[in-house]
Structure 1
């Protein structure tokens, strides 16, 4: 029985997938294009974009996604080591990246004289029709500049599989032609005459040249150079090399097959000698079972009829070191009747789509996984992964790379740290994803981080605040005091200059330590230039006035990000063991009032505790804090100290084999320590019945870029340094 034809179809470019089962044809033309406009020459080049000389170099840019592939190469070409200009602008939120919006960057010299990125919108939303708009905007702006004669770009939108080469080429042609058509006589011809579309991989360059030639065949405004140009820096990646080798092998099979059976006695003693191709093919197939050699020949003959430009292969290889791998970036946004999912990885893009979810069940799941019982912490994470995460996204949840979740204020309430990699029924259960890899969060917000002065000189500084609440109102937390003192001691041992405030002014005083008055803390925050802020205490929602604010509870009021609006140099990292006051009040003592009726209902999941850390993170990220790490529910005192100890140890010194400490690695190491000790902790006589000790590792949420190294730019006194 022959191999099914579907196996051949699997090699063809852009086969249907579960997430995108049908490929639509080119969008219908709204109106005929004029044919009397100027002509634009388009050349396809096999080479490195950064090494092609042009007046303007452009790549695409997704909203909030740090550069990779061609954009990263361009970033390196225009930046002075070790900083990356486009990367830094992305992390600071200074690139809006709305569809078609062009952002320009200065250059340091060389082939790249002027660089820009064109906005692609949110990841997963770039359709062929939107790509037409993007390309039209790009060319229109380049023409309007008036000084650009040559433009070098890549096939924007096809780099990670969002569009096929054919789709992206059609969009480029349609978008460019739409701009050129209205520029006919009597308008003067634009200075821009040549566009270089650069592709670093040879086979994709051939595919691109063929696609552009076909798409522009009926458009006289665009002239596609008939030859593929070779420039410096071109590469041949493994999948393309395999396609070329396969093409040669199929050609060999075709010639050998044609020679067999043409004469009597072929291959028999005394008969004509087999063609040389047959000897080579026999050598290639010699290592295979004789029963399948004939089937291999049959499939090779079928493939011989397929042009190499229509073939793609996926070559799996050992995963590179995690620090060098691209993150798996997932966007999860709330929608009507479900969640809107999209994903971007180093190999593919999963387009954005709405996945229906029963929101009542999701609210119950979130509530039970927020400060869960031991049984819920054991059994419900697998349900979270299966019920909430679509099947094609589940396959992306592995420890091969960092996982970055882009969330809105609603979906940030879900305890995603419990996510588990799904196993086959009966398979061995593996550790949660957040234990095996770096898992971080990013909030999608309508604002950008503020431009601030960098913390680049002097010694590392830290502000540590412990138990600042009013004991007369039930806010006394002895464990928070112990954690603050332990953190201050550890940071001092690591060479950090620490400002320490412990206890309210009307509480039992800590000898030699200043009380935590709100005004004094604010003074150090605004004027102290702290790299790290560590807070242990209560947090609450302020529902007074016209808006709802979140902040830290002091005896003399609530300290919120509103008081930090004038912060010129925000800290790099804020760590907060901050529990919701109304929740604690009902559990540990008199506590403060729960607030006006309906406060809890303001959380979309019906659980104010679940919304606490996202709300705090949102406030602090707004003023420019780089990383916010907070606990989503109450943590036993000793485990809060353990997390902090592990976090700062790995933040400053790294772990085994780490070239440079990163914030994400430090968070993962601290989570892992709590996870490994959870079983032993359950045997402690003081264990709380709600399973806090069992699940505390999952309470810690990290908002920021997990790959960020804890190294402020410029000279500074690093612990242990000279």
Structure 2
């Protein structure tokens, strides 16, 4: 670093409170203005501070549909929650916060500065335009006026922090929305109780930018009275980019005007001015030619207001509250894919990426159970072809990545996403290997139960090879996996109920066959935390619409049969392959059925659409996490994934405060990735190509960053029944564990 004894950086931050810059006296409040004859007026004050520490009658933040709180909303959530499970976060996971545009939802508060809290709906992520923001702000102010007891309301500039709008856009929307409500009051209407809105910003530079934007927007609207200057409250911060802007602005003020040769002063002459001495000290470490160029640019920069400056810090930095996930929304739309991003480190508006449907369909087909060459070369094309350029910088291993998808875009194998690298640069491991990457479906489902698990041991249901062998749906490898998973879960302390094989198949000694009715009984009555299925899956197109489910010898078991579940499983893992595509390969002699039009995704084949279809069905009934394989997996790879996944989930990973489902999926993916060249088969052989890309076949639907809550530990900080000597090592449900058979015929599911 450059040594600057004459002028410390803290001294250069002109308006920032430091030991060298004590806070100045706040300006005197402006004189009260009489109310306008035509209606009420509303005071707006920009506050530099933490929303949760600002006193007001009502605290409000914005809320995107199905997106757990972050940034200011998360701070408010923690302030109003009395326990370790934040209220707004839990209500979001349960689907109780509808968040339609302008809809206000209220929450109870514990004792503290926040006496009443609410969130106003912003609609789906990526849809908040300036026009829609005007509607949202009008709805918010109208609701606050209607309460009748609110005199002051504290909020943030909703939609600008980590949303779609720039500060100037959001400020205009606030002014127009509030102005619309104020104009609706006639001269004879009684004045509303609400007289002041505090717009709080935690970062000092953004607070200044916000004040200027509101002043510009409200200049011609006398009903709104903007308090001059900022009001300072507790909790205000100065984040790294803003601190750098302050320092740069101060340095530019020390530079001589353009054309003046301040550096040519006689070294033996009088001492230079203090500013020049400080600047010389800063530039002393540079080559003289570079130093002069820096001085020239600083002199030009002095003409730019600091509120017009912005810096991007590319180094990895923790978000305000720790490690916030990067949430990206990818929706199919007219002319291409619509992207939006929500991250604690960046404000990224919506982007439209024009995409040729035929090219994307071919890309999805070739990345679904890809050849080794395609698995090596096409991920870079996927990232460049469909990801907006300025979104690509968000795809790093600094944060968990959560993709919100619709039924069309869910068919794309996003697990292959990689960072964009320059030609000749070293190839890095895929993103899903280096960080937690999971999916959420944009759907109408809502969770029907909480994650609080009852006291008692972890309970698991394992189902293997339930298909009818007479129809060619027998999978010996699925039996091997089911028995191995049951043994692993028992060793980890879980109580396991095991069903293997159809009634008319070769029976597994000591293990009940997998009948739909018996499995449904255990699902509805057994209180299972984990369900593991290995077998075939299928689409069923009937007169009532599309249904997806697991294939049993006596029919299809779908999530509709689970609608009466009082407590759905928290985790469902399914190594399931598509019957219409694989039935002939199973030796049935029956040609694969042509896929129905309704079963095809616009971007690929029905195999690619299988996992999203199944995930949607199970998420609708309240399953918290659905993990499925998007194509056939070699038997030993399926077993390796499951064993590594459950070990991490129930015992935790190194350095983790609490295990997460996303962390367990990443660990299991990494194990398959590191072992992709094992198995003794040439890479381009049928089993070799499946082995090479098996890690990418596993898709996780759920919140990757959510801690796994073990039974009896409602705080979410438990690590599951991690000891191997826990209950469940003997017989459960009147069944014997049975002996594991030797590996069956080589195959994949």
Question: Which of residues 287, 311, 314 in structure 2 aligns to 1:313?
Answer: 311
Aligned to 1:13: none
**Residues in 2 aligned to 1:78 and 1:273: alpha-carbon distance in whole angstroms:** 58
**Residues in 2 aligned to 1:274 and 1:64: alpha-carbon distance in whole angstroms:** 60
Identify unmatched segments of 5+ residues in structure 2: 1-35, 727-749
Aligned pair in 2 of structure 1 residues 414, 174: CA closer, same or farther (>3 Å)?
same
Q: Contact between 1:267 and 1:273, CA under 8 Å: does it hold in 2?
A: no
Aligned to 2:225: 223
- Deviation of 1:133 (Å): 1.5
Aligned pair in 2 of structure 1 residues 602, 285: CA closer, same or farther (>3 Å)?
closer
Instruction: Report Cα offsets for 1:547-583 as digits up to 9, x if no partner.
Output: 1100011111110011011111000000001111121
Aligned to 1:619: 617
Aligned to 2:707: 709
* Residues 1:544 and 2:537 are matched in the alignment: no
Instruction: Report Cα offsets for 1:526-556 as digits up to 9, x if no partner.
Output: 1111110000111111123321100011111
* Residues 1:389 and 2:400 are matched in the alignment: no
* Residues 1:512 and 2:510 are matched in the alignment: yes
Q: Contact between 1:125 and 1:351, CA under 8 Å: does it hold in 2?
A: no
- Deviation of 1:662 (Å): 0.9
- Deviation of 1:383 (Å): 2.3
- Deviation of 1:704 (Å): 0.6
Aligned to 1:193: 195
Q: Contact between 2:154 and 2:197, CA under 8 Å: does it hold in 1?
A: yes
**Residues in 2 aligned to 1:178 and 1:200: alpha-carbon distance in whole angstroms:** 28
Instruction: Report Cα offsets for 1:22-65 as digits up to 9, x if no partner.
Output: xxxxxxxxxxxx98220111111111111111111001112222
Q: Contact between 1:682 and 1:693, CA under 8 Å: does it hold in 2?
A: no
Aligned pair in 2 of structure 1 residues 104, 569: CA closer, same or farther (>3 Å)?
same
**Residues in 2 aligned to 1:586 and 1:250: alpha-carbon distance in whole angstroms:** 74
**Residues in 2 aligned to 1:453 and 1:312: alpha-carbon distance in whole angstroms:** 42
* Greater displacement, 598-607 / 135-144: 598-607
**Residues in 2 aligned to 1:307 and 1:146: alpha-carbon distance in whole angstroms:** 42
SS of residue matched to 1:183: coil
Instruction: Report Cα offsets for 1:512-536 as digits up to 9, x if no partner.
Output: 2111111111011011111100001
- Deviation of 1:313 (Å): 2.5
Instruction: Report Cα offsets for 1:477-533 as digits up to 9, x if no partner.
Output: 111111111111111111111111111122222122111111111011011111100
Aligned to 1:362: 360
Aligned to 1:134: 136
**Residues in 1 aligned to 2:218 and 2:684: alpha-carbon distance in whole angstroms:** 74
- Deviation of 1:613 (Å): 0.7
Q: Contact between 1:584 and 1:591, CA under 8 Å: does it hold in 2?
A: no
Aligned pair in 2 of structure 1 residues 135, 682: CA closer, same or farther (>3 Å)?
farther
**Residues in 2 aligned to 1:680 and 1:35: alpha-carbon distance in whole angstroms:** 82
* Greater displacement, 153-162 / 709-718: 709-718
Counterparts in 2 of 1:685-696, with a 5 A limit?
688=686, 691-696=689-694
SS of residue matched to 1:405: strand
- Deviation of 1:249 (Å): 2.2
Counterparts in 2 of 1:78-227, with a 5 A limit?
78-160=80-162, 162-227=164-229
SS of residue matched to 1:132: helix
**TM-score (normalizing by structure 1):** 0.90
SS of residue matched to 2:348: strand
Counterparts in 2 of 1:553-572, with a 5 A limit?
553-572=551-570
Aligned pair in 2 of structure 1 residues 354, 228: CA closer, same or farther (>3 Å)?
closer
Aligned pair in 2 of structure 1 residues 399, 682: CA closer, same or farther (>3 Å)?
farther
Aligned pair in 2 of structure 1 residues 570, 545: CA closer, same or farther (>3 Å)?
same
* Residues 1:297 and 2:324 are matched in the alignment: no
Aligned pair in 2 of structure 1 residues 517, 390: CA closer, same or farther (>3 Å)?
same
**Residues in 2 aligned to 1:505 and 1:221: alpha-carbon distance in whole angstroms:** 77
- Deviation of 1:682 (Å): 5.1
Aligned to 1:655: 653
Question: Which of residues 479, 484, 487 in structure 1 aligns to 2:485?
Answer: 487
Counterparts in 2 of 1:163-562, with a 5 A limit?
163-254=165-256, 267=266, 269=268, 273-320=271-318, 324-451=322-449, 454-562=452-560
- Deviation of 1:701 (Å): 0.6
SS of residue matched to 2:128: coil
- Deviation of 1:346 (Å): 2.4
SS of residue matched to 1:401: coil
Instruction: Report Cα offsets for 1:248-300 as digits up to 9, x if no partner.
Output: 32333359998969xxx96375x555333322322222112111222222222
CA RMSD of aligned residues (A): 2.6
SS of residue matched to 1:107: coil
SS of residue matched to 1:449: coil
Q: Contact between 2:453 and 2:709, CA under 8 Å: does it hold in 1?
A: no
Q: Contact between 2:99 and 2:120, CA under 8 Å: does it hold in 1?
A: yes
Instruction: Report Cα offsets for 1:95-126 as digits up to 9, x if no partner.
Output: 22222221111111211111111122222322
Q: Contact between 2:66 and 2:92, CA under 8 Å: does it hold in 1?
A: yes
Aligned pair in 2 of structure 1 residues 232, 634: CA closer, same or farther (>3 Å)?
same
Aligned pair in 2 of structure 1 residues 212, 386: CA closer, same or farther (>3 Å)?
closer
Q: Contact between 2:458 and 2:710, CA under 8 Å: does it hold in 1?
A: no
* Greater displacement, 226-235 / 644-653: 226-235
Q: Contact between 1:407 and 1:443, CA under 8 Å: does it hold in 2?
A: yes
* Greater displacement, 470-479 / 250-259: 250-259
Question: Which of residues 617, 626, 629 in structure 2 aligns to 1:628?
Answer: 626
Aligned pair in 2 of structure 1 residues 35, 204: CA closer, same or farther (>3 Å)?
farther
Aligned to 1:12: none
SS of residue matched to 2:350: strand
**Residues in 2 aligned to 1:43 and 1:384: alpha-carbon distance in whole angstroms:** 47
Instruction: Report Cα offsets for 1:691-712 as digits up to 9, x if no partner.
Output: 1111111111110111111114
Q: Contact between 1:455 and 1:712, CA under 8 Å: does it hold in 2?
A: yes
- Deviation of 1:82 (Å): 1.5
* Greater displacement, 628-637 / 688-697: 688-697
Question: Which of residues 42, 53, 56 in structure 1 aligns to 2:55?
Answer: 53
Instruction: Report Cα offsets for 1:338-391 as digits up to 9, x if no partner.
Output: 222222222324332432212112222212221222232223222222223233
* Greater displacement, 276-285 / 66-75: 276-285
Aligned pair in 2 of structure 1 residues 301, 337: CA closer, same or farther (>3 Å)?
closer
- Deviation of 1:174 (Å): 1.5
* Greater displacement, 65-74 / 288-297: 288-297
- Deviation of 1:240 (Å): 2.2
Instruction: Report Cα offsets for 1:418-473 as digits up to 9, x if no partner.
Output: 12222111222222111111111110113333346842322111011111111122
Aligned pair in 2 of structure 1 residues 372, 296: CA closer, same or farther (>3 Å)?
closer
Aligned to 1:15: none
SS of residue matched to 1:501: strand
**Residues in 2 aligned to 1:571 and 1:331: alpha-carbon distance in whole angstroms:** 26
Identify unmatched segments of 5+ residues in structure 1: 1-33
* Greater displacement, 72-81 / 244-253: 244-253
Aligned pair in 2 of structure 1 residues 364, 600: CA closer, same or farther (>3 Å)?
farther
Q: Contact between 2:470 and 2:588, CA under 8 Å: does it hold in 1?
A: no
Q: Contact between 1:483 and 1:536, CA under 8 Å: does it hold in 2?
A: yes
Q: Contact between 1:266 and 1:273, CA under 8 Å: does it hold in 2?
A: no
Aligned pair in 2 of structure 1 residues 415, 268: CA closer, same or farther (>3 Å)?
closer
SS of residue matched to 1:103: strand
**TM-score (normalizing by structure 2):** 0.87
Aligned pair in 2 of structure 1 residues 682, 132: CA closer, same or farther (>3 Å)?
farther
**Residues in 1 aligned to 2:432 and 2:189: alpha-carbon distance in whole angstroms:** 60
Instruction: Report Cα offsets for 1:384-424 as digits up to 9, x if no partner.
Output: 22223233333322222222111111111111111222211
**Residues in 1 aligned to 2:327 and 2:451: alpha-carbon distance in whole angstroms:** 29
**Residues in 1 aligned to 2:339 and 2:211: alpha-carbon distance in whole angstroms:** 33
